[in-house]
Amino acid sequence: MKRRGASGLWGFAALLLGVALAGCVVTAPEETGGALHRHNWWNYYARGQFFLKAGRREEAMDDFRRCLGEARGARFGNGRDMWRARTYGLHFVEGYFPNRELGVCLCEAGDFGAAVRYLETSLRQEPSGRAKHYLNVARQALVAGRAAVAPRVTFATAAAAAPTRERWLELAGRAEGEGYVRRVSVCGEPVYVELAERAVAFGRRVSLTEGTNVLSVEAEDLKGQRTVARLVRVADWQPPRLVVREVALRDGAWWLEGECRDVGGVVGVRADGREVYRASAGAGVLAPRVPLTLRVPAEGVALEASDMAGNRLACRLTPSDLALTARRPDAQGQGGGATLLERMEAWSGGGGGLRLVAAGGAPAGDRLRPSLSLKGCQGFSRVSAEEFFLDGIATDGGGLEAVTVNGEPLLASDERGAVRFYFARRLPLDAGTNRFEVAATDRAGNRTSETLTVERTTPEYLEERHRLGVGVPPLTAADSNPLGARVKRSLESELVREPVRFRLLERDEGWDFVLREQGLSVSDLADPSAALRIGKMVPADLLLMGRIFNESKGITVYVKVVETGDGEVVFASDVYTADVERGLDEAIAGLALKVEQGFPLLAGEVVKCQGRRVTLNVGRSAGALERSRFLVSAASVAGSTLCRVGEEPVQLQVERVYPETSTALVLPASADAVVKEGDHVYTR
């Protein structure tokens, strides 16, 4: 009786267990020898995965077809690939991809045409790195026997050699080819191309060096055919200069004799807006020196010279300035006598007359130092720009021998002896303190110098403390996987690589304590709602909650970016690698790049205010996303100082995004009166 009672209890327990498990995913079909107790699409999918990992490809294909409803067996089919498929009630399958996995089987079986159809269907329904990998494999096999021309590379800007005044170039374009473009590199740096396509767009900010820059883009298709296209840009960062060789008073008017010079060639010279020189439109090579004979009226004249790159020199010539370097007419009425400065020096020395000009052009006994004037420059400046504009005038009646900036000569050898020298320089700045010495030396060896200190600071809106704080909790695994720690470390290393987009919090240390305090296990991190509880202890705006899937012949790393404030998933992506040992780091670098591209750095303005809601001139076309966060800077300071309520900066959180505009909510609510139309906004 006792034995029968025990048997009855066990039977009842088994019945209850069977009811509880009705419709659940069979996660370990190998334990049942492949036999299914339930015939639902998710049961067949789990068994198909087991068969595929075990190398039983034909059996796996049969089960995936049953999942899709293409073969009999399942009560009903589910033909949609998705990262989270609901089975019944609150039960889900994480990573349901029957189209993709059937495509993988067909690819390995050599039926590449059919594989492409299923893999393309999977990508239309739910993009995944594994589908892209096998679609590359299938397409490569299909194009191997076809004739196809090599890839073509086109640039978004003119490919002809052209001068530029910029220190950077946005090198963008497209690589196209019938053989599917698989690799693209810009100036030797690879572009992340996950899926080979007939047309692949590229864009990269490339730094230029002064002079001629040959920028190359290489494209390779799945057939191994390569094409290299080159773009030439001449970086000209320095404005023209004006060399005055002689200033004289003739017939009651001041006359200037000199040259306007530029290494890349002078395009035009204007005096009071009137064109006095313009290079001919068809000139192949611009003149590097343009002689000038200019009459200066009593009220002075504004002179402007420009080069092909758009650099400009602007200066104002006045009679009072020119008088200091003008020579008194000699006995024949020509301007060969001494200058006013020379005469003043001679009288102050007690000579009682005019000094003579010594051999070589320097006045005998010249002890007067050159005059050096730096327009608008102070001894100390603080800027946030990448360069500093230096504008100056060097003057000496006896003739200038040299003008230098930190030892770099500005005056050419054949320009020595000039009495006035108008120059401008665009000086690159390093982060922190920069010091520049500007010096002028005359032909007698007298020297005048000025020292400038320029501190380059980071605009406040770009300071790391204002970036979105990101935490990377331990990764969960669909199967037992020892790679979680390695993937986490690799992802964190990529997130702190320059240029840094996020402020990374809590690396290896601290997470065990956080999970323990919140009563969470690593498996609980698969649920985005866990971010709400973690956010109570970790000062992060976003959590990168990752999951590792052990696939047949490789792994998938899937990441959801979750807001800690409300547990919303704001971005999700994945990568796949078939070669874990050699390809994992590259795959994780691509994943980090995708996450950063999902949160682009944008700048715009407030165009309309309605209480707590404002309209921005930044929309979907610029990369704005719903829930993007912006910092606000008053129009008068343009980013150097952020608007605040107390100690906290004012934020705007985007609610709706349109093609060219977006609407956002002002945070905190008390800051609605702080934000004004015309204010500048920058993404956090």
pLDDT confidence of residue 481: 60
When pLDDT is averaged across residues 578-591 and rounded to a whole number, the result is 94
Furthest-apart CA pair in the chain: how many Å?
A: 145
pLDDT one-digit tens code per residue, 526-536: 788 888 888 88
CA distance 587 to 233: 33
Closest CA to 342 of 332, 357, 329: 357
Q: pLDDT at position 472, please?
A: 92
pLDDT for residue 642: 92
Split at pLDDT 50, 70, 90, the class of 13 is very low
Look at residue 470 in the predicted model and tell me its pLDDT.
Answer: 94
- pLDDT reading at 305 higher than 60: yes
CA distances from 121 to 96, 102, 116, 126 (A): 14, 11, 8, 9
Report d(CA 381, CA 357) in Å as an integer: 41
Residue type for position 226: R
Burial class (CB in 10 A: 0-12, 13-18, 19+), 445: exposed
The pLDDT, as a whole number, for residue 390 is 94
Per the model's pLDDT, the better-predicted residue between 520 and 557 turns out to be: 557
Task: Give residue 100's identity as a one-letter amino acid code.
Answer: R
- Which tokens is 663 given? 């609407």
Signed CA dihedral, 527, 532, 535, 537: sign only: negative
pLDDT at site 171? 95
pLDDT band at 520 (very low <50, low <70, confident <90, very high): confident
CA dist., res. 398 & res. 322, Å (int): 14
- Torsion-angle region of 89 (φ positive above 0: left; ψ -120 to 50: alpha; else: beta): left
Distance CA 578, CA 575 (A): 10
- Point out the least confidently predicted range of 47-51, 265-269, 565-569, 578-582: 565-569
Backbone angles phi, psi at 526, to 5 degrees: -70, -20
**How many CB atoms are closer than 10 A to CB 194?**
18
Give the model's confidence band at 253: pLDDT under 50 very low, under 70 low, under 90 confident, else very high: confident
Assign 506 a pLDDT band (cuts: 50, 70, 90).
low
* Mean pLDDT of all residues in 112-133: 98
Answer yes or no: is pLDDT of 395 > 90.
yes
pLDDT tens, position by position, 263-301? 989 999 999 999 999 998 766 678 899 999 999 988 899
User: Residue 134: pLDDT above 80?
Assistant: yes
Are the C-beta atoms of residues 70 and 121 closer than 8 Å to each other? Answer: no
**Of residues 208 and 1, more confidently modeled:** 208
Across the range 326-343, mean pLDDT stands at 48
With 0-12 / 13-18 / 19 or more C-beta atoms within 10 angstroms meaning exposed / middle / buried, residue 147 is: exposed
Q: Which helix (H) or strand (E) holds 574?
A: strand 569-577
- What are the structural domains of the chain? 25-143 (1.25.40.10), 152-235 (2.60.40.10), 242-247+281-356+363-454 (2.60.40.10), 462-597 (3.40.50.10070), 603-683 (2.40.10.410)
User: Is pLDDT at 158 greater than 60 in this prediction?
Assistant: yes
Instruction: Compute the mean pLDDT over every residue in the chain, rounded to the nearest whole number.
Output: 86
Please report the pLDDT score of residue 532 as a whole number.
Answer: 87
Name the pLDDT band for 5 (thresholds 50, 70, 90). Answer: very low
Q: What's the pLDDT score for residue 249? A: 83
